[in-house]
């Protein structure tokens, strides 16, 4: 019973925070709200018996990637976006097309929900074991070992690319 | 409301109050030890031998006026010290400080002396350390002043750089002890080799301990890595524009982070609450002694060593400490594989 | 219970997609991409729990790594673009238009 209430609480926080992320003008507030959304998602992962993924989400996403975003926002010190009442605003950004876009987004959401939830019986989860870090580690280094090594090369390439792109010359 | 639940709530409150008083004690200890190292007296007027000096400091800070620059972002300006203080307290929640006790038979199931017992405790400590970067960077940004912004960005860059070595030293400990739960790591350090040498991890990984303490000092922005709050260069860094209780919260966060790093180092490397001559149930005395020794070491280092310049600090973190910690991890892995330690 | 997690991740994915199309600030577009990736992560973990295997968490591990790499490169590109044009509005980069 507490699990359902916690699910709705975390889910509500995640949805509200994500909505505010795309509605805020100030990019610093957007980044902070997204960190809040990641925290709620981390709580959802704990509810789904995945404590390792929950903590890794905080360490990697909320603790590293968002710090990177925050640094870029602060160092660029970008001016705020134009509001929707400027005269040289793009025709697609006037209130009329924006509302139509919101209707399209809701239609897309309903379609996704329908596609994901048909043919699936929704009962409570089977009483599964909490997957321990040891079992994840074993899987990672045996079945997914190739993907693991390729990921390390991917990170190296991304690091080199970021350094080269952002260099002043 | 079983007795166990009441005991757990009482334990949470006790840990909170103990952390607050440890910050006050650290204020006094720092000033007295600094004075003795510099051959002067230190506080001796307020109370016997100056023991009430922290109380006087807290009362003074509470009565100061709370200022906010007009161009500062009000929401973030108020939020930043809250984030710092909250993360400092939260990191201590998964650190055990004593063996399971039944409180002299008052409760039936043993109570672990730990606020929350998760089986991924080490990762939780690391995660909360990553989150405490935000308090500093938001303080620097929202003050809307150039000293604060520079101090905040430098402090957060330093913290995320030294987190890597911190994590690698933790990973080496995990290899030896085969578990992510801090309680199990401490319990694997009980007993002794040949009845003389206690089975502490520091004897198995001396380099790992040094890396962990160095990265811990850099993480908590203490000397010799305290360039971001250096008084001579940056006014006061990221907390330049803060006064009264917000400033006190930053200070509190710094001291409690020191206590947490010392407590984690004690649990992982120095055997936690195990020690000779005392029974298991009084193990928290040994824990306090070891944490106290590490905190004295912190204060001693601050007032003895000169400060690193910022580029020297970053070069040290990336080019010296990170390769050493990777090599430490490799050597530990080889040792575990071939010698089965 | 699985249905509720899937509905939540569908809602988050929709919010992310709407953010990518609506916002005219490069950094907010990248943030909306991160929202979409998180919704997908939630789907993977929910299915992994429902089917009782740890494969969902392994895929999440890889998705997070790829998201980190993509955020780093994306932000480097944003910095380079900002240096040229002093603007973060994607509508101001029109050099390739005829």
Interval B266-298: pLDDT, tens: 988 888 778 777 776 777 888 889 999 999 998
Chain A residues closer than 8 Å to B141 by CB: 28, 74
**CB of A27 less than 8 A from some CB of C:** yes
Quick check: do C and A touch, 3+ CB pairs under 8 A?
yes
Question: Which DSSP symbol is given to B106?
Answer: T
Cβ <8 Å between A55 and B141? no
**CB of A67 less than 8 A from some CB of B:** yes
Is a pLDDT exceeding 90 seen at residue C35?
yes
Chain B residues closer than 8 Å to A70 by CB: 134, 137
Q: Which residues span the domain enclosing B134? A: 68-100+116-339
- Asked if the structure places residue B56 within a domain, the reply is no
Mutation target to probe the B interface, by most B beta carbons within 10 A, among A46, A59, A138 is A59
Quick check: do B and C touch, 3+ CB pairs under 8 A?
no
Distance CA B324, CA B327 (A): 5
Ramachandran area for residue A119 (φ above 0: left; ψ -120 to 50: alpha; else beta):
left
Those residues whose C-beta lies under 8 Å from the C-beta of residue B38, and which sit 6 or more positions away, are B303
Angle formed by the axes of helices C55-85 and A145-165, to 10°? 10
Fold of the domain built from segment(s) C2-89: Helix Hairpins (1.10.287)
Mean of pLDDT over chain C: 89
- Asked if the structure places residue B322 within a domain, the reply is yes
CA distance to partner chain A, nearest, from residue B123 (Å): 6
Of the listed ranges B3-17, B60-74, B120-134, B262-276, the least confidently predicted one is B60-74
pTM of model > 0.80: yes
Classified as helix, coil or strand, B15 is: helix
Is a pLDDT exceeding 80 seen at residue C56?
yes
DSSP per-residue string spanning B147-200: HHHHHHHHHHHHHHHHHHHHHHHHHHHHHHH--S-HHHHHHTT-SEETTTEE--
Give the number of domains in chain B: 1
For chain A, how long is the longest CA-to-CA vector? 60
Q: Name the more confident of B227 and B321.
A: B321
Contact C56, C49 (CB under 8 A): yes
Q: Which chains touch C (3 or more CB pairs under 8 A)?
A: A
CA distance to partner chain C, nearest, from residue A56 (Å): 8
Q: Which among B180, B185, B184, B183 has a CA at the least distance from the CA of B205?
A: B185
Compute how many other C-beta atoms are within 10 angstroms of the C-beta atom of residue B159.
25
Is a pLDDT exceeding 70 seen at residue C9?
yes
Q: What are phi and psi of B333, to 5 degrees?
A: -65, -40
Chain C residues closer than 8 Å to A139 by CB: 54-55, 58
Strands B192-193 and B197-198: antiparallel
**CB of A76 less than 8 A from some CB of C:** yes
Any idea where the domains of chain C sit in the sequence? 2-89
Looking at residue B140, its pLDDT comes to: 84
Chain A residues closer than 8 Å to B124 by CB: 55
Residues B112-129 pLDDT 10s: 666 666 778 888 888 998
Looking at residue B107, its pLDDT comes to: 56
Residues B185-203 pLDDT 10s: 888 887 777 666 777 888 8
Residues B79-104 pLDDT 10s: 888 999 999 998 888 888 877 766 65
- Asked if the structure places residue B307 within a domain, the reply is yes
Residues A121-162 pLDDT 10s: 666 666 666 677 888 888 888 989 999 999 999 999 999 999
Scanning C57-96 for CB atoms below 8 A from A yields 57-58, 60-62, 64-73, 75-80, 82-83, 87-89, 91
Mean of pLDDT over chain A: 83
CA distance to partner chain A, nearest, from residue B10 (Å): 23
């Amino acid at each position: 019973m507490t699990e359902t209430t916690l699910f709705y609480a975390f889910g509500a926080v995640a949805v509200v925070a994500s909505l505010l992320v795309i509605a805020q003008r100030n990019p610093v507030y957007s980044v902070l709200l997204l960190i809040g959304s990641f925290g709620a998602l981390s709580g959802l992962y704990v509810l789904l018996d995945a404590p390792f993924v929950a903590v890794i989400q905080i360490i990697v996403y909320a603790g590293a990637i968002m710090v990177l975003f925050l640094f870029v926002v602060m160092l660029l010190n970008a001016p705020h976006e134009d509001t929707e009442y400027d005269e040289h605003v793009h025709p697609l950004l006037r209130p009329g097309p924006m509302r139509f876009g919101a209707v399209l987004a809701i239609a897309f959401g309903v379609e996704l929900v329908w596609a994901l939830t048909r043919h699936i019986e929704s009962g409570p989860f089977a009483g599964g074991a909490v997957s321990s870090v040891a079992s994840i580690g074993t899987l990672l280094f045996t079945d997914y070992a190739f993907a693991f090594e390729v990921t390390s090369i991917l990170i190296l390439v991304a690091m080199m690319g970021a350094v080269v792109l952002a260099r002043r010359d | 409301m079983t007795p166990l639940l009441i005991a757990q709530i009482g334990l949470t409150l006790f840990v909170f109050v103990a952390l607050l008083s440890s910050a006050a004690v650290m204020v006094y200890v720092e000033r007295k030890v600094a004075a003795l190292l510099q051959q002067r007296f230190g506080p001796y007027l307020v109370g016997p031998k100056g023991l009430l000096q922290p109380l006087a400091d807290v009362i003074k800070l509470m009565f100061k006026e709370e200022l906010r620059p007009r161009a500062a972002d009000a929401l973030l300006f108020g939020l930043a010290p809250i984030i710092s203080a909250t993360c400092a307290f939260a990191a201590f929640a998964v650190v055990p400080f004593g063996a399971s006790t039944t409180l002299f038979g008052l409760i039936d199931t043993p109570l672990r002396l730990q606020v929350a017992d998760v089986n991924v405790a080490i990762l939780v400590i690391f995660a909360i350390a990553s989150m405490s970067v935000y308090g500093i960077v938001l303080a620097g940004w929202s003050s809307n002043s150039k000293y604060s912004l520079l101090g905040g960005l430098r402090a957060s860059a330093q913290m995320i750089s030294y987190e890597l070595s911190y994590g690698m030293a933790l990973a080496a400990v995990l290899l030896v002890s085969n578990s992510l739960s801090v309680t199990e790591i401490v319990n694997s350090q009980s007993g002794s080799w040949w009845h003389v040498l206690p089975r502490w991890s520091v004897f198995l990984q001396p380099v790992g301990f040094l890396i962990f303490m160095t990265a811990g000092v850099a993480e908590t922005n203490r000397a010799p890595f305290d360039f971001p709050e250096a008084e001579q260069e940056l006014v006061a860094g990221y907390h330049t524009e803060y006064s009264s209780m917000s400033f006190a919260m930053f200070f509190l966060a710094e001291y409690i982070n020191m206590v947490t790093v010392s407590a984690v180092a004690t649990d992982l490397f120095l055997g936690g609450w195990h020690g000779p001559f005392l029974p298991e149930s009084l193990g928290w005395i040994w824990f306090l002694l070891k944490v106290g020794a590490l905190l004295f070491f912190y204060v001693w280092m601050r007032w003895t060593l000169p400060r690193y310049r910022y580029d020297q600090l970053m070069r040290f973190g990336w080019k010296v400490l990170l390769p050493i910690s990777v090599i430490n991890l490799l050597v530990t892995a080889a040792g575990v594989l071939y010698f089965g330690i | 219970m699985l249905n509720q997690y899937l509905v939540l991740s569908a809602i988050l994915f929709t919010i992310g997609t709407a953010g990518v199309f609506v916002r005219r600030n490069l950094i907010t577009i990248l943030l909306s991409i991160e929202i979409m990736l998180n919704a997908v992560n939630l789907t993977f973990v929910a299915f992994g729990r429902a089917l009782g295997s740890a494969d969902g968490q392994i895929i999440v591990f890889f998705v997070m790594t790829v998201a980190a790499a993509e955020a780093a490169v994306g932000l480097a590109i944003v910095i380079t673009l900002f240096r040229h044009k002093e603007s973060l509005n994607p509508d101001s980069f029109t050099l390739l238009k005829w």
